[in-house]
Amino acid sequence: MAPEDQLLRSGVSRRDFIKTCVAATAVMGLPFGMVARVVEAAQAPDRPPVIWLHFQECTGCSESLLRANHPTPANLLLDMISLDYHETLMAGSGHQAEKSLHDSLQANRGKYLLVVEGAIPTKENGIFCKVGGRTAMESLRSAAEGAAAIICIGTCASFGGIQAAAPNPTGAVGVGEIIKDKPLITIPGCPPSPYNLLSTVLYYLTFKKLPELDQLGRPKFAYGRRIHEHCERRPHFDAGRFAKAYGDATHAEGYCLYKLGCKGPATYANCSVQRFNDVGVWPVAVGHPCIGCTEPEIVFRTAIADKVQIHEPTPFDSYAPVDLKNKGKGPSPLTTGIIGLAAGVALGAGAMMAGRLPDGEQADKPHQEDSHERKE
Ligand code: SF4
């Protein structure tokens, strides 16, 4: 049965099927004219076999994909592929499940996609994570041997994640530290957007090749830009309006979260565009700073409240100062802009930045060098 027919039988309308394909096409950065090809690939009767292994993780990546409020991405993905082994979803267990894994690895050698969720412990021969009597290292090596390609879903499988945080007692690493001879895609995030996995698989089915990847193995279509570039709080950042404490007036006003430790200026991901749960939410939208969960050098290495350094020192010095205490009573923006410009000329840019907020905090001025700036 074609995937679309299966979707229709499971209650997903043709309209939702097309909408999901359009969304996945947009995530891939493809023009609208490519939707027909993506739909065709999603409907193809040949379904690639997929083996999905879980190691050191919380299963949040699977949960994010399978969220109950709008099952279309999960349905589409699971109907496009032949999911031969997934410990959370499969009905079988014990010897029956292990036989299913063994049979699928043998029957589909060289053809299956291996999806890995979770980090792999390496200390003491990997005894900290065992499934079916074998360590995660053994299971991974044996499954990777016959895989056509490997997809690391989530930050743990991609880079070790929270398990690899100092002092890393189990020696947890990402898949790429162990498997060096296979095409490997990382889809980091804690959890990643389900659309990034769906779009990666759809790209593979549509073009019969892997998407273009960055130096960390991430599909460029999803991880090619910093979330800071499309954040809805960005106008506040540019205007020098920063939330200063959780729950205070500046936070309630929706000001930029940079001073609360937002890692958005150094984090490459599409969260600010392709949001979660199909209701337009993501952490920054609900008032929590980005923790940089797609960046191995930031997440679980940098305290949430620590500020990342940024390259472009916006706002510009000609921006009008913001005075929350006199909100609505002060001079017009045009007046303050002219005053600010004149004062900027007279006193210099640094003095203006120091006086932007009523308490004159120097911290309003973001750090001017970006130690996390990506080297292309
Ligand atoms: Fe948005 Fe964070 Fe950038 Fe502020 S620093 S504009 S909250 S991504």
| Closest ligand 1 atom to 265 CA | 3
Q: Which two tokens stand for residue 194?
A: 């389900």
Question: pLDDT tens, 312-371?
Answer: 655 555 555 555 555 544 444 444 444 444 444 443 333 333 334 434 344 444 544 443
Residue 181: which of 219, 212, 140, 145 has the closest Cα?
145
Distance in Å, CA 32 to ligand 1 centroid: 29
Q: Which two tokens stand for residue 145?
A: 């041997």
Question: pLDDT tens, 84-100?
Answer: 888 888 888 888 888 88
Q: What is the pLDDT of residue 274?
A: 84
CB of 226 shorter than 6 A to ligand 1: no
φ and ψ at residue 231, rounded to 5 degrees: -75, 140
Distance in Å, CA 264 to ligand 1 centroid: 5
φ and ψ at residue 115, rounded to 5 degrees: -105, 130
Question: pLDDT tens, 231-276?
Answer: 999 999 988 899 999 999 999 999 999 999 999 999 999 999 888 8
Distance in Å, CA 261 to ligand 1 centroid: 9
Peptide bond into 265 cis (omega under 30): no
Q: Which SS3 state, helix, strand or coil, does residue 305 take?
A: coil
φ and ψ at residue 135, rounded to 5 degrees: -70, 160
Bridge partners for 86 per DSSP: 52
Average pLDDT of the chain is: 81
Pocket test for ligand 1, best of 237, 238, 312 (most atoms within 8 A of CB): 237
Q: What is the pLDDT of residue 233?
A: 95
CB of 198 shorter than 6 A to ligand 1: no
Residue 129: which of 178, 82, 91 has the closest Cα?
178
| Nearest CA, atom 4, ligand 1 | 256
The larger pLDDT score, comparing residue 175 to residue 365, is at 175
C-alpha gyration radius of the chain? 24
CB of 203 shorter than 6 A to ligand 1: no
Domains, in order of start, for the chain? 3-223 (3.40.50.700), 225-342 (4.10.480.10)
The separation between CA 166 and the C-alpha centre of its own chain, rounded to angstroms, equals: 22
